[in-house]
Structure 1
Amino acid sequence: MRIFTPLLLMTLCTLSFAGYAQEEDTPHDYYVRLTSNSYRPAVGSGPKGEVKFSFPKHPELTQVFAQFGVQAFDFTFRNAVVEGLKRTYLMDVKTRNPELVKVLEGAYGHIFEFVHEMRDFEPHYAPNDYNIQPFNTSWHLDLVGAPAAWDITTGDPSIFLAIAEGRKTGFNFTHPEVANKIVGNVSYYGTEPPHFHGTAVAGTAAGDTDNGLGLSSIGFNCRMYTLYGYNPVVQLDSLLNMGIRVFNMSFGNTSGELVEEEAMEDAYLRGAILIASAGNDPTALRSYPAAYDHVISVTSVGDQMNHDKVIGDPSTAHWHGSSVDLVAPGHDVVVPINSQSYAYGNGSSYAAPMVAGLVGLMLSVNPCLSPDDVELILKATALPVDNLPINAAYTGQLGAGLIQADAAVQMAQSYASALPTIPKLNPSFHHYITCDDDLDLNLHVSGTRNPLSTHHQWNLYEQSNTNQSIDQMAWWQVSPNGYNRDTLVFSTVLQPNTHYMVKRGVWDGCTPWFERRQYNIQAPSCFVQFGYALDAEPDANGCVTEYKVSGENLDLVDRVSFILVGATTRSYTDFSLPFRQPIAPYQDTQITATLHFHNGKTYTLTENIPTCDPLIPWRSAVEETLVSTAELSLYPNPVMGEEVQLQHPASAHLAELYSLTGQKLMEQPLRASGTTPLRVADLEKGVYLVRILEKEGGGSTLKLVIE
């Protein structure tokens, strides 16, 4: 395995920057596929706030990224179903440098499966005859039977078309043909100045129709999202996640790319209907993305269904070949441009959105059509045009023929498609329970997103009766909104320690209803969750002298009522934090605290007060080597008479006699002789403790039994 040392790194960087001219300061992207996602770099910030990528296990690779100016390493295909895309990233660098590819694929080939340069795309248009009046604005709609299709449907506003454009083109969002029809834009790398191409394509697909000005559009009431990016082919994911299914791509490149091909396959598997312009150069090779599998490739015809713009002049034709699927009007089509004006446009760029708009009408009458269903219907209802004398040179190169909107919509309306298996709806969800300020238990649920689903329902049941729901949350949403709520909360307040069951169902209006159930959902009361308790506060001798109320959110408590049980029963109330209650050691045996909350709820805590044993420090003192056991004793022990003799060292000066409850009963100064009598005639039978104290401090304890 080759090792790329820092010295080699410096050499390569010096040569590469000196040997290659620096291009415009725009992001130059690469497709990067890792051999494993475990190699994905960590992202941080440099000393000047710049993005910094690091590879902890490969510090020299961290230097490579820094010196080659890597600015971004984006995981674009998060929701991909194609396996390779799950390990593919988009890498941005400040300046293009072929040496970077050589280094990553060479010295670090075990990490980087490949690094491919992302290509730019050219729009497929050939504009001419700007602002020529008068316009024949409707011939292209008449040619494909749009008015008859509108008798069936004028399009559903809930059906969205995505108009994708490359970075060299853009949109004029203020043009009256699109201002009210484009409802959102997804932009990568900023926004270019308004460009007529994107405006023209959008206006052709689903421009504002029946509004008393401008022109009509085949998509009529369907609405649009726009996508602007350096390479929109691999940037469809955000719109796919919104549930948008129809994508128009009026641009192309004459060579294919593996990542782009996989991105098209991935979108198709996730339910996308992909439409692209076939290209304008009749002498070129195939154009991509139109030539990829699962992409409907569309080329142009004129008002006589002529493929040549100038009949008989093949140089005026647009691309044709075996990869073409359909044709649509693309010669001298009236399109909206900038400055709220119109022009004749030429290019397969305008043929493709005619198909996209028609697909919008088809989904309006049958939203359950799969991508394969749509392509089958379009081709089955198309009018062959390669058998016309004016197209004799293009036999077998114009696909199934000219789209027929009325026939396609009619067939879509009655078409019983096979239920698609992809994308599958996922009814899984998570839940958690919280306490609010009223100390009520609230159940939160969070479900997996399903962009294509239109119905979402959550049902709450008591587990003892799952035949009758006690709460329900339901949404009927239409793409591109889908299920876009992170968390939902049932309005029903849960009862503590009660078992519940939640059922979540999702539906897209086409596939069967999917549901998931989760049982044994329960939680203790908020009082328990907040941890309310009585904490004992002991003194230095270990005797409890006070209790304090503890727990979370004590600010919700207005007051605490205490009851002490012992020799007598007493009541107290504390109105302010911290809630404390002193007790009488050796006397009180039980404490009860009732918490009164601001909303009127109460919670009661009860604790038995432990017996206070003041002799604990005495017992520990026995271990303090004060006197030997030979010098310290009681006799007789047990004693039945009135007096007991205490033998002690001369250094001891005082004896104290205690009951086992800690009550001191007597004390007796000790004689210097070492033997002192203790009178016990007035004591009852039982066990007592005698503590002998030293003059220098400390002491020892003996047990005395009186019979």
Structure 2
Amino acid sequence: MRLIFTCFCLLPVLGFGQIADSSYARGQIYIKLRDNITIHDAGKSETLNKRGELSFIQALLGNKSASKIEKPFYTPNSERLQRIYKIEFLLPEQVQEVISKLLQDPAVEYAERVPVDRKVYVPNDYTPPNGYFVGQYNLEIINAIRAWDITRGSGAIVVAVTDDGVATSHVDLAANLVAGRDVVYDDNDPNPDRSDDDHGTHVAGIVSATTDNNRGIASLGFSIKVMPVKIADNQGRLIQAYKGVRWAADNGARVINMSWGSPTFSQSNQDVINYAASRGCVLVASAGNDAASSFNYPAAYDNVISVASTDIADVRSFFSNFGSWIDIAAPGSAILSTLLNNTYGLIGGTSMASPLVASLAGLMLSVNPTMNRTQVEAGIKATADNINAQNPNYIGQLGAGRINAFNAVNWAATVYSTASGSWTGSNWTYQAPSQHTNPVIQAGHTVTVPSGTYPVRNTLNINGTLDLSTTSSVLNINNN
């Protein structure tokens, strides 16, 4: 067995002269055209049409020469993402001048540099302080065993792992994998290109290594499926991270894990996150390993569950970011999981905490697939264990606490109402949720129901005729 303790982190920028190369892709920008701009044949294909889009973009650039223009996040399902273009320049030093010019053009909603997302290793001879339990303490501390008494996961729930690749032939992963994608080279082989790109394989094992197979490790996800989405090129650079998020959202992922990041905000990337959220995806991301309160993206974007890391004692991992923007914490110090060549090893980082939360989201959806992404996040937070006593200097900066898998899955199994707000009638008012009452609705009453799907888990007594109306085009009532 090969044991490695590795920490993925975002290294701080050390000097102003390094900012261009460290935080941004050299010579590359995003631009987003305004919604009222009409271009001939735009939006019909991922490929730019020369008569319409290419000519329009080149006109915007004027005398500045582009070496490549593409639509990085194209999907037929979103006109907004169809209007985002990525441009690479022959002369990178022209980028800031071009952005300034584009921002003055009424056709352009925004123009920005392209952030670099990365993973960076601590040397592999690093020894963790105080001694760490070599095993799967992360599953024990979050009460995974009791959660498995409720559900062992559903193969219908898919968690996407966007990363540097996943070893699809690993004996402890293969049975729980579904078809993936390499979005960098546009093929169906999501395996890593390099022998040291084992980050994604480790993350995938945390999400859902095959469990109860008398081999290797167990995983919280147990039987949920992993969709490997390779976002790294053959040098290990994460050059298509958000294209991977978009692809996962369009191809059946209910949960998307993002164990990578950048300290730099991008409106284009936020637009991709918003799109995935609109598709119903639960988005989970590592908070970063700078031991700082500064934002890291995508964890700090709207519609993303940001995950800090804790250790075997429920103490904030020494490397973990923190702050009021953190949503939840999970074990991430010295986590045992799958590596390349059918091996296993220890890696530490918020990159390891994030997939545990993604796995929990998948387990909750297994027991209650009608839940939406905001309900999943609410349940994870509402059922977390308070760890303030163990972290007196970080109260309010490690989210809602450390996840408790049993509590969260039990919550998902027993929370019935999927709507918020009140139901009102001419002579009757009732506040959702409805687990604990059996309202009697009399003939002639008018009931206004918030838009949503309502599993009926209690007795609803109706005397006479009940007229229901909804502002939504569809009202689903499930009789259980």
State the partner residue of 2:268. 259
State the partner residue of 1:119. 115
Amino acid at match of 1:232: A
Is contact 1:201-1:350 (8 Å) kept?
yes
Amino acid at match of 1:121: D
Is contact 1:69-1:93 (8 Å) kept?
yes
Match of 1:201 among 192, 200, 203: 203
Is contact 1:124-1:280 (8 Å) kept?
no
Does the C-alpha gap of structure 1 residues 278 and 40 become closer, same or farther in structure 2, counting only changes over 3 Å?
Answer: farther
Residue 297 (structure 2) pairs with residue 288 (structure 1): yes
Any residues of structure 2 matched to 1:304-343 within 5 Å, and which? 304-308=313-317, 316-343=318-345
Distance 1:405 1:22 in 2: 41
State the partner residue of 1:393. 393
1:21-57 Cα offsets, whole Å, 9 max, x none, are 999xx996532211344236879xxxxxx98845597
> Helix, strand or coil for the counterpart of 1:401?
coil
Is contact 2:29-2:95 (8 Å) kept?
no
Does the C-alpha gap of structure 1 residues 417 and 164 become closer, same or farther in structure 2, counting only changes over 3 Å?
Answer: farther
Residue 344 (structure 2) pairs with residue 380 (structure 1): no
Match of 2:175 among 176, 180, 192: 180
Report the Cα offset of residue 62 of structure 1.
Answer: 9.0
Match of 2:92 among 97, 118, 122: 97
Report the Cα offset of residue 203 of structure 1.
Answer: 0.6
Does the C-alpha gap of structure 1 residues 65 and 382 become closer, same or farther in structure 2, counting only changes over 3 Å?
Answer: farther
Amino acid at match of 1:175: H
1:371-411 Cα offsets, whole Å, 9 max, x none, are 111111111110011222xx222121111111111111111
Match of 1:141 among 139, 142, 152: 139
Residue 303 (structure 2) pairs with residue 299 (structure 1): no
Distance 1:354 1:136 in 2: 17
Is contact 1:27-1:95 (8 Å) kept?
no
Does the C-alpha gap of structure 1 residues 319 and 158 become closer, same or farther in structure 2, counting only changes over 3 Å?
Answer: same
1:124-168 Cα offsets, whole Å, 9 max, x none, are 765746999x98322110000001111111100111001112xxx
Distance 2:322 2:70 in 1: 39
Distance 1:181 1:90 in 2: 36
Amino acid at match of 1:109: D
Is contact 1:278-1:320 (8 Å) kept?
yes
Distance 1:332 1:126 in 2: 13
Give the number of the structure whose residues are more often strand, by fraction.
1
1:237-273 Cα offsets, whole Å, 9 max, x none, are 3322233221111111112112222322332233111
Is contact 1:39-1:111 (8 Å) kept?
no
Q: CA RMSD in A?
A: 3.7
> Helix, strand or coil for the counterpart of 1:113?
strand
Is contact 2:81-2:272 (8 Å) kept?
no
Distance 1:320 1:22 in 2: 26
Any residues of structure 2 matched to 1:253-652 within 5 Å, and which? 253-283=262-292, 285-308=294-317, 316-388=318-390, 391-419=391-419, 512=476
**Paired residue total:** 383
State the partner residue of 1:88. 83
Is contact 2:159-2:359 (8 Å) kept?
yes
Does the C-alpha gap of structure 1 residues 396 and 284 become closer, same or farther in structure 2, counting only changes over 3 Å?
Answer: closer
Distance 1:397 1:231 in 2: 31
1:514-535 Cα offsets, whole Å, 9 max, x none, are 9xxxxxxxxxxxxxxxxxxxxx
1:174-229 Cα offsets, whole Å, 9 max, x none, are 22222232212222222751411000111111112122211111101000112223
Residue 76 (structure 2) pairs with residue 67 (structure 1): no
> Helix, strand or coil for the counterpart of 2:179?
strand
1:257-302 Cα offsets, whole Å, 9 max, x none, are 1222232233223311111111111136111111122211111111
Does the C-alpha gap of structure 1 residues 337 and 38 become closer, same or farther in structure 2, counting only changes over 3 Å?
Answer: same
Match of 2:161 among 141, 160, 163: 163
Bigger Cα Rg: 1
1:562-591 Cα offsets, whole Å, 9 max, x none, are xxxxxxxxxxxxxxxxxxxxxxxxxxxxxx
Is contact 1:131-1:342 (8 Å) kept?
no
State the partner residue of 1:619. none
Match of 1:241 among 250, 256, 280: 250
Amino acid at match of 2:182: S
State the partner residue of 2:31. 32
Is contact 2:27-2:88 (8 Å) kept?
yes
Distance 1:143 1:358 in 2: 14
Is contact 1:124-1:347 (8 Å) kept?
no
1:492-528 Cα offsets, whole Å, 9 max, x none, are xxxxxxxxxxxxxxxxxx97289xxxxxxxxxxxxxx
Distance 1:40 1:284 in 2: 46
State the partner residue of 1:686. none
State the partner residue of 1:678. none
Amino acid at match of 1:91: K
1:523-563 Cα offsets, whole Å, 9 max, x none, are xxxxxxxxxxxxxxxxxxxxxxxxxxxxxxxxxxxxxxxxx
Does the C-alpha gap of structure 1 residues 395 and 115 become closer, same or farther in structure 2, counting only changes over 3 Å?
Answer: same
> Helix, strand or coil for the counterpart of 2:84?
strand
1:460-479 Cα offsets, whole Å, 9 max, x none, are xxxxxxxxxxxxxxxxxxxx
Does the C-alpha gap of structure 1 residues 511 and 257 become closer, same or farther in structure 2, counting only changes over 3 Å?
Answer: farther
Residue 81 (structure 2) pairs with residue 110 (structure 1): no
Is contact 1:135-1:334 (8 Å) kept?
no
Does the C-alpha gap of structure 1 residues 125 and 216 become closer, same or farther in structure 2, counting only changes over 3 Å?
Answer: farther
> Helix, strand or coil for the counterpart of 1:383?
coil
Distance 2:67 2:41 in 1: 15
Q: Which has the higher contact order (CA 8 A, sep 6+)?
A: 2
Distance 1:73 1:357 in 2: 31
Does the C-alpha gap of structure 1 residues 89 and 79 become closer, same or farther in structure 2, counting only changes over 3 Å?
Answer: same
TM-score, normalised on structure 2? 0.70
> Helix, strand or coil for the counterpart of 1:69?
strand
Does the C-alpha gap of structure 1 residues 224 and 29 become closer, same or farther in structure 2, counting only changes over 3 Å?
Answer: farther
- Where in structure 2 are there 5+ consecutive unaligned residues? 1-19, 232-238, 421-452, 454-473
Is contact 2:89-2:95 (8 Å) kept?
no
Does the C-alpha gap of structure 1 residues 325 and 142 become closer, same or farther in structure 2, counting only changes over 3 Å?
Answer: same
Does the C-alpha gap of structure 1 residues 358 and 59 become closer, same or farther in structure 2, counting only changes over 3 Å?
Answer: closer
Distance 1:58 1:257 in 2: 23
Does the C-alpha gap of structure 1 residues 306 and 42 become closer, same or farther in structure 2, counting only changes over 3 Å?
Answer: closer
Does the C-alpha gap of structure 1 residues 235 and 392 become closer, same or farther in structure 2, counting only changes over 3 Å?
Answer: same
Is contact 1:129-1:344 (8 Å) kept?
no
State the partner residue of 2:427. none
State the partner residue of 1:79. 77
Does the C-alpha gap of structure 1 residues 130 and 340 become closer, same or farther in structure 2, counting only changes over 3 Å?
Answer: farther
Percent sequence identity is: 29
Does the C-alpha gap of structure 1 residues 511 and 99 become closer, same or farther in structure 2, counting only changes over 3 Å?
Answer: farther
Report the Cα offset of residue 76 of structure 1.
Answer: 1.7
Distance 2:58 2:139 in 1: 61
State the partner residue of 2:220. 218
Is contact 1:208-1:217 (8 Å) kept?
yes
> Helix, strand or coil for the counterpart of 2:361?
helix
Does the C-alpha gap of structure 1 residues 28 and 97 become closer, same or farther in structure 2, counting only changes over 3 Å?
Answer: closer
Amino acid at match of 1:180: A
